[in-house]
Structure 1
Amino acid sequence: MPLKVILADDHPLVLVGGTLALRNAHIDVVGEAKNAEELLTLLKTTPCDVVITDFLMPSEREDDGLVLIDRLAKEHPDVAIVVLTMINRAAALNSMLKKGARGIVDKRASMDELAVAAKAVHTGETYLSDTLLDILNEADENSVAMPGTPLSLRETEVLKAFVNGKSLQEIADSEGKSVKTISRQKRDAMRKLGVNHDSLLKDTARDLGLI
């Protein structure tokens, strides 16, 4: 029996091109979705072996990004997840894998790579585009703290407040904590994310769905 795949992306050209590439590789595309809600609804009635989904798709509900991967992994444990993304930050890529993605494909790669990834994850392998694998390998070699280490609840709250424009003093005042404590929590969060400068922090937080 052919491998059954559902493809989800909010860009029509990706759906058309991806579907064509998969079918040319003798993979059966049994469904297409334009957002997370459509994907989750489709999965209730359409059995498949692999879901290939864009990481961030516009949605009125907060069920995109890491939240979507986590939900797919929990509700459909027998379905392998491949993520399509333009994101190239090690912390975000590691988080996708930790949440349950078995494959991550760089959206700048050839559409033919979708079939390679689908077949690989269906057999139990982990698949990453070469460009993304290089990023993870470099991060592993250079980071003091492993990117992708889960943030604590307090670190997440401090990070959210900071990237949304609050100063460390304002966060400390609202939490009844010292600036020293808030600064340490922010610094620890940055180390876990593999970020060494405030200018990169907002982009990383956005990649992770924190803002």
Structure 2
Amino acid sequence: MRIAIAEDSTLLREGIVQLLAAEGHEVVASVADAESLMAALASDEPDLVIVDVRMPPDFVDEGIRAALRIRREHPSVAVLVLSQHVERRYASELLLDGRGGVGYLLKDRVSDIAGFLDAIVRVAEGGVAFDPEVIRRLIADRSGPDQGVGDLSEREAAVLELMAEGHSNASIAERLFVSQSGVEKHINTIFTKLGLAAGSGVNRRVLAVLAHLDQAD
């Protein structure tokens, strides 16, 4: 896999570069600011971009704005955002187009090497990977039912939360101690309650996650 990294912390950036190289991935760009990242993509598109939320010069939202721009201008490039803290208002923005290939992880998760590498693969393959803490914060902040999410049963809500974290059907089944066919039935019910029809031309799994995240808005 060809990967570009934008992270202003030299120690973290180089650590990720070495980790990815050890896994056989090719790091085609390793930069410290969003401007350099966009310049790198203009000449050579990678399969995946890993980008920090806050970078020079102002350390506000340069990275997330670059991520959103990449989603618009380089739709074939998957994006994995890293953040020191939960910036919940950006989560739904990353999913608004209904496509996969996007993730949002807290930097603490990088120390979970297996989980971090798994998230990279999931996002690059068109899935989603949202940090469990991001999901917990969004659930805690929700103000009431919206788009049918409030109509979900406790088990369906649990399935949707695990979907938001990026788990496959098999992984959800293992974590909830149910059969995979049971998980599939729950997911189909979730799609029905959220009004996500089949054949709509968008990723229903991603839209279900978006409805889940929108509870915080």
TM-score (ref. length: structure 2): 0.58
1:1-211 aligned within 5 A: 3-59=1-57, 64-98=62-96, 102-111=102-111, 112=113, 113-139=115-141, 142-144=142-144, 194=216
Aligned 8 A contact 2:138 2:216 in 1: no
Percent of residue pairs identical = 24
Equivalent position amino acid for 1:86 in 2: Q
Give the C-alpha shift of residue 20 in structure 1.
1.5
Residue identity in the other structure for 1:105: L
1:86-143 residue CA offsets vs partner (Å, 9 max, x unmatched): 222433333343377710111111342442222101111101122223333444xx42
Secondary structure of 1:110's partner? helix
SS in structure 2 of the partner of residue 29 of structure 1: strand
Q: Deviations over 1:152-197 (max 9, x none)?
A: xxxxxxxxxxxxxxxxxxxxxxxxxxxxxxxxxxxxxxxx8958xx
Deviates more, 1:17-26 or 1:119-128: 17-26
Divergent runs of 4+, >4 A: 60-63, 192-195
Distance 1:74 1:92 in 2: 15
Q: CA deviation at 1:18?
A: 0.9
SS of structure 2 residue aligned to 1:13: helix
Q: Distance in 2 between matches of 1:109 and 1:133?
A: 14
1:133/1:60 CA distance change after superposition, 3 Å: closer
AA aligned to 2:133 is T
**What SS does the aligned partner of 1:52 have?**
strand
* Change in 2 beyond 3 A, CA 1:19/1:35: same
C-alpha RMSD over aligned residues: 2.9
Q: Which residue identity is paired with 2:26?
A: D
CA distance 1:65–1:7, shift in 2 (3 Å) = closer
The two structures have a TM-score, normalised by structure 1, of 0.59
Contact 1:37 1:59 in 2 (8 A): no
CA distance, structure 2, for counterparts of residue 56 and residue 193 of structure 1: 25
> How many residues are matched?
146
Shift in Å, 1:60 = 6.8
Between stretches 16-25 and 118-127, larger displacement belongs to 16-25
Structure 1 residues 9 and 79 mapped into 2: Cα distance closer, same or farther (>3 Å)? same
Please identify the structure whose Cα radius of gyration is greater.
1
Give the gaps of 5 or more residues in structure 1. 147-191, 196-211
Q: Name structure 2 gaps, 5 residues minimum.
A: 147-213
Question: Secondary structure of 2:27's partner?
Answer: strand
Query: Compared with structure 1, are the counterparts of its residues 122 and 14 closer, same or farther at alpha carbon in structure 2 (3 Å cutoff)?
Result: same
